[in-house]
Amino acid sequence: MPAQLFDQLHNDWQKVLSPLEAHILGLQKQISSQELAPEFADVFRSLSKPIGEAKVVIFGQDPYPTEGHAHGLAFSVDQSVSPLPPTLRNIFTELSDDVGSQPVHGDLSGWFEQGVLLINRILSTTVGSSMGHSSIGWQEITNAVAAELGKRNVVGILWGKYAGELSPYFRQDWIIQSVHPSPLSAYRGFFGSKPFSSSNQILIKNGMLPIDW
């Protein structure tokens, strides 16, 4: 049996989210018997590292609903996944145009290890159902996450309408915001937005090491 949802959180995040522990237990009761994306054990993977390590947070919408794709880090998939989800292909197109990086697989754990917190506004869905858990209460959790990160020197990259709701939590000169990179919207302002170089510029300006995207 995977650890209870609250127990999956790093101690730092347990302290921040302790006022919402009962709410998290309620979420667990709603989702634990369902076929989840990501799997139950990975729902809080994005919050499994110390808060102080975070330098950039990328907020998305909700997990990939395709079975085997979502693994707890927003937009990321396991190295074995091929072809890549269209949204991730668009991210990699912008990544290449922006900073010249050309990843060989879709696992973004390397970014996560450098302090890029990859988290969706809604942290779970049912396999095969996009936005299946949009109304069960995840937003209270991710509001609290954004509020904590916004107090710190963390660049907020907000992709899409749902992520954009979190902009008030961040200082305006630490926000990079655009439409979502999905095929439905990427051509309306994601391509050409240069989020990777822009976030590094903010970090360097504030005496922090840039991310090796």
Which residues, at least 6 apart from 176, have a Cβ–Cβ distance to it below 8 Å? 155, 156, 157, 158, 193, 195, 198, 199, 202
Cβ–Cβ under 8 Å, residues 121 and 62: yes
Given 7, 12, 42, 62, the catalytic residue: 62
Cβ–Cβ under 8 Å, residues 121 and 137: no
**What is the distance between the alpha carbons of residues 86 and 44, in angstroms, rounded to a whole number?**
24
Assigned token pair, 136? 């069960």
- Is residue 62 among the annotated active site residues? yes
Beta-bridged to residue 59, according to DSSP, are: 119, 158
Residue 146 C-alpha from the chain's centroid: 11
119's enclosing H/E stretch is strand 116-120
The count of C-alpha atoms lying within 13 angstroms of the C-alpha of 15, restricted to the half-sphere facing its C-beta, is: 5
Catalytic residues, which ones? 62
